[in-house]
């Protein structure tokens, strides 16, 4: 296996959870870019002169429909193993769960599982999520196949893998299995302990949005608040500048003609902006760009931090009264992000988005946009809106247009999506899941923390809220520049595991 392939298969722990419109696509690619950057630097440090540090790649035969014993179809699910710290067959197993993207060798070489494994002599295993990465069942991604894609199917895979891998690696029946995961995979880690406490000993759930929600307006509330947070480089002036930049974008869209044509070129829109739905795609993608600076603030590989974004928005201080000054800053931010991601354009037409999402053939280079949209339509919602009066961006795209994507791509009605979200919360318990020996870890800068558990729910339902920390930051490789609050949080994670083990 070449290093090139290993790097390409970097785990997408940080992938955005938004439904997969053009705005969501940008955030998902930001997550992919950051993860690959960290994978590259992390593996570069760990490989050394000896090849023994390479993790092992394996494949499991998993039932396509684990809830129907008469269905004999199966698919191959990829996993990674790092056994270099394993001390004995009755030591703990750290199971790193994949989420809505490819899972690579970094899942067992860095982050909590790999960092903590030497202390307890743990075997570290990373399990890729069904229908993502290379764990896609034969037959494509049409609706007949996608009905086997859900968090419940993924949890069934976790338990099947736990039983099979125990035999394969001669793991003692007394060995504790501990799940780790970030973002959606963090929710899976918590739910694995909730639903299978006899098989999963404990879980660490980072940035886990366990509450499903149709209208996720709270996301932009946190973004707005974070833009004013002086501890991470924000300020009231920065938030005001962001609002002014979006007001100028909307003014130029309304003006049409030459102003709109210039806007299209300056903000990197592919295609015309004459249709309202295409204007909404651009406005939503610009929201995602600002949201991404907040969501991934301070992470290695992130194109923009809050401090850098605010610097751009407020850069023209000599002419700050001009409405075009923050607009120029936003334009520069677009250039920074598109250049970092290697994208030709920032946003696409709505019609092109729908066309791409309707493709049922798995795309080797895809981050799973069609699959994740399906999960948002059938389980989670998570549609980010800006309809609150205090939101500094545009009210477009509104919730109905985001829900309409489920109808256009999958033929799913708004009422069915709302019902699915309610069922998910009923099945897992939302923000009061009642799972013991689960540690929820969140950063208060991360917009997703409002859907997670941020306060302890009981003596064995623990929670950490890290000041000024972004999405899954606790799982990132340690750096000398890490703030004391992040170092303390990692210490607390260690101490909690020590208490349980």
Element (H, E) at 214: strand 213-215
- Per the annotation, the verdict on 198 as an active-site residue is no
Identify whether the C-beta of residue 458 lies closer than 8 Å to the C-beta of residue 479. no
At 58, list the tokens: 């394996």
Please report how many Cα atoms fall inside a 13 Å half-sphere around the Cα of residue 99, on the Cβ side. Answer: 30
Q: Say how far apart CA 489 and CA 207 lie, in whole Å.
A: 13
Q: How many CB atoms lie within 10 A of CB 152?
A: 16
Catalytic: which of 33, 85, 153, 471?
Answer: 471
Q: Are strands 213-215 and 381-383 parallel, antiparallel or unpaired?
A: parallel
449 among known catalytic residues: no
Spatial distance between the Cα atoms of 20 and 356, rounded to a whole number of angstroms: 10
489, with CB counted inside 10 A (0-12, 13-18, 19+), is buried
What is the distance between the alpha carbons of residues 129 and 374, in angstroms, rounded to a whole number?
14
Q: Residues 470, 476, 477, 478: what is their CA dihedral angle, to the nearest 10 degrees?
A: 40
Q: How many CB atoms lie within 10 A of CB 257?
A: 8
Cα 255 to Cα 13, 218, 251, 327, 398: the distances in Å are 41, 31, 6, 15, 21
Rounded to whole angstroms, the Cα distance separating 293 from 305 reads 5
Catalytic residue among 157, 278, 446, 482: 446
Annotated active-site residue 183? The verdict is yes
The angle, 0 to 180 degrees and rounded to 10, between the axes of the packed helices 184-195 and 414-428 is 50
**Interior angle at CA 33, CA 32 and CA 37, nearest 5:** 115
Which uninterrupted H or E stretch holds 78? strand 74-82
Is 385 in contact with 217 (CB distance < 8 Å)?
yes
Q: Look up tokens 């980072």; give the residue.
A: 206
Please count the CA atoms within 13 angstroms of the CA of 101 that sit on its side-chain side.
Answer: 30
Residues contacting residue 403 through CB under 8 Å, at least 6 positions apart: 214, 383, 414, 417
CA atoms of 74 and 231, how far apart (whole Å): 51
Q: How many CB atoms lie within 10 A of CB 356?
A: 17
User: CA dist 259 to 16, 32, 242, 312, Å?
Assistant: 32, 34, 20, 22
Q: CA 138, CA 73: separation in Å to the nearest integer?
A: 10
Alpha helix locations (H) across 121-171? Answer: 143-146, 151-168
| Candidate list 150, 183, 401, 452, residue with the active-site label | 183
**Torsion angles phi and psi, residue 474, rounded to 5:** -65, -25
Tell me the catalytic residues. Answer: 183, 446, 471
């Amino acid at each position: 296996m070449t290093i090139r392939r290993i790097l390409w298969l970097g785990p997408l722990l940080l992938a955005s959870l938004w439904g997969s419109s053009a705005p969501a696509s940008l955030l998902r690619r930001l997550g992919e870019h950051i993860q690959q950057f960290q994978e590259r630097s992390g593996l570069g440090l760990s490989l050394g002169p000896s090849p023994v540090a390479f993790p092992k790649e394996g494949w499991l035969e998993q039932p396509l429909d684990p809830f129907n014993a008469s269905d004999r179809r199966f698919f191959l699910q990829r996993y990674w193993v790092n056994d270099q710290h394993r001390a004995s067959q009755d030591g703990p197993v750290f199971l790193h769960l994949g989420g809505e993207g490819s899972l690579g060798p970094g899942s067992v070489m860095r982050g909590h599982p790999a960092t903590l494994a030497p202390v307890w002599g743990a075997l570290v295993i990373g399990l890729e999520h069904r229908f993502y990465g290379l764990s896609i069942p034969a037959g494509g991604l049409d609706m007949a196949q996608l009905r086997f894609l859900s968090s419940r199917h993924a949890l069934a895979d976790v338990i099947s893998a736990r039983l099979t891998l125990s035999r394969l690696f001669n793991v003692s029946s007394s060995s504790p299995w501990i799940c780790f995961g970030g973002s959606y995979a963090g929710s899976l880690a918590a739910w694995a302990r909730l639903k299978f406490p006899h098989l999963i000993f404990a879980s660490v759930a980072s940035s886990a949005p366990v509450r499903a929600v149709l209208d996720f307006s709270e996301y932009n509330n946190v973004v707005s608040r974070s833009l004013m947070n002086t501890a991470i480089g924000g300020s009231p002036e920065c938030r005001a500048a962001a609002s002014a930049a979006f007001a100028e974008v909307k003014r130029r869209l309304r003006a049409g003609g030459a102003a709109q044509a210039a806007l299209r070129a300056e903000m990197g829109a592919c295609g015309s902006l004459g249709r309202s739905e295409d204007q909404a795609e651009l406005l939503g993608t610009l929201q995602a760009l600002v949201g991404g600076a907040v969501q991934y603030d301070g992470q290695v590989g992130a194109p923009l931090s809050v401090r850098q974004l605010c610097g751009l928005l407020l850069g023209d201080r000599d002419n700050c009264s001009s409405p075009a000054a923050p607009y120029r800053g936003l334009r520069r931010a677009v250039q920074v992000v598109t250049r970092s991601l290697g994208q030709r354009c920032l946003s696409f037409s709505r019609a092109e988005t729908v066309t791409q999402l309707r493709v049922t053939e798995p795309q080797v280079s895809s981050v799973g946009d069609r699959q994740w949209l399906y999960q948002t339509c059938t389980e989670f919602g998570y549609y980010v809106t800006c309809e609150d009066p205090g939101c500094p961006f545009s009210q477009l795209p509104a919730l109905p247009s985001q829900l309409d994507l489920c109808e256009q791509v999958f033929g799913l009605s708004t009422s069915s999506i709302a019902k699915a979200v309610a069922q998910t919360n009923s099945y897992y318990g939302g923000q009061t899941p009642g799972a013991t020996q689960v540690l929820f870890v969140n950063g208060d800068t991360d917009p997703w923390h409002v859907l997670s558990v941020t306060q302890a729910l009981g003596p064995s339902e623990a929670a950490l809220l890290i000041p000024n920390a972004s999405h899954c930051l606790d799982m990132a490789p340690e750096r000398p520049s890490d703030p004391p609050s992040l170092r303390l949080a990692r210490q607390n994670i260690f101490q909690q595991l020590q208490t349980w083990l």
